[in-house]
Structure 1
């Protein structure tokens, strides 16, 4: 086989981009439903601007009245605490859900993640701010500084 350069052909010009020649992916987004980070994927190349949800499950469960009540509950609970005070998502779930509060634990965590994306609160574990998309286990919610 004859190399392309030897056959009189030149490689196709590449679009100018970063130092290594690769076009950097667009910045990540936040899922409108669960508040987790959505990273760019090749399959979304043409419609990245319209992507709002990280999964089919999130697309089916768009934030509703209960989610808005959880966010309001988080705001009011934090307002009742000292400026450096924290709350557990279960407190908001108990306030909104009454006896059935346990089913609202994940929605309460999702409400907190959406509020982190909006810059209203921070999620902490053992007193340190953590990435809400990857936090597992017990979390606390505090006002953003």
Structure 2
């Protein structure tokens, strides 16, 4: 029986157990080489904090779009250009997935909670109910 899946420390996606990790499963933290190289940066932590701050400013049960956090972090870091926040969209989605793994938020589509590892398209983020 394989052990329970883990969550990638970088992207927040589910890591499925593999036979080749049988001896080192306790040491596995990342789902891929790309995530291992990327790790979690200061920008990633700022995006997590921004998501939580934006949710604190909303009424209970209300949602935000990850783009709101991306825009806030881009503005606070003085990134140039009207579309500078777009470069932070995927990092914002990763930050939201990490917060889901921590139990702080839920990711929804169409008002229903979805699995953050498989969600495609536009998502919304809300506090865990």
Instruction: Say whether the fold is shared (TM-score over 0.5).
Output: yes
Distance in 1 (CA, whole Å) between partners of 2:41 and 2:85 is 17
Residue 105 of structure 1 deviates from its aligned partner by: 0.3
1:113 alignment counterpart: 97
1:97 alignment counterpart: 74
Residue 35 of structure 1 deviates from its aligned partner by: 0.1
Residue 97 of structure 1 deviates from its aligned partner by: 1.3
Q: Secondary structure at the match of 1:53?
A: coil
1:54 has 2:38 as partner:
no
TM score, norm. by length of structure 2: 0.93
Task: Spell out the pairing of 1:72-87 with structure 2 (5 A cutoff).
Answer: 72-87=49-64
1:140 has 2:124 as partner:
yes
1:13 alignment counterpart: none
1:130 has 2:114 as partner:
yes
Distance in 1 (CA, whole Å) between partners of 2:16 and 2:109 is 24
Distance in 1 (CA, whole Å) between partners of 2:43 and 2:103 is 21
1:64 has 2:41 as partner:
yes
Q: Secondary structure at the match of 1:138?
A: coil
CA deviation profile, 1:44-100 (whole Å, cap 9, x unmatched): 011000000000000000101000100010011000000011000000000001341
> Rg bigger for which structure?
1
Distance in 1 (CA, whole Å) between partners of 2:61 and 2:113 is 13
Q: Give the superposed CA RMSD.
A: 0.6
Write out the 4+ residue segments of structure 1 that deviate beyond 3 Å after TM superposition. none
1:34 alignment counterpart: 11
TM score, norm. by length of structure 1: 0.83
Unaligned runs of 5+ in 2: 76-81
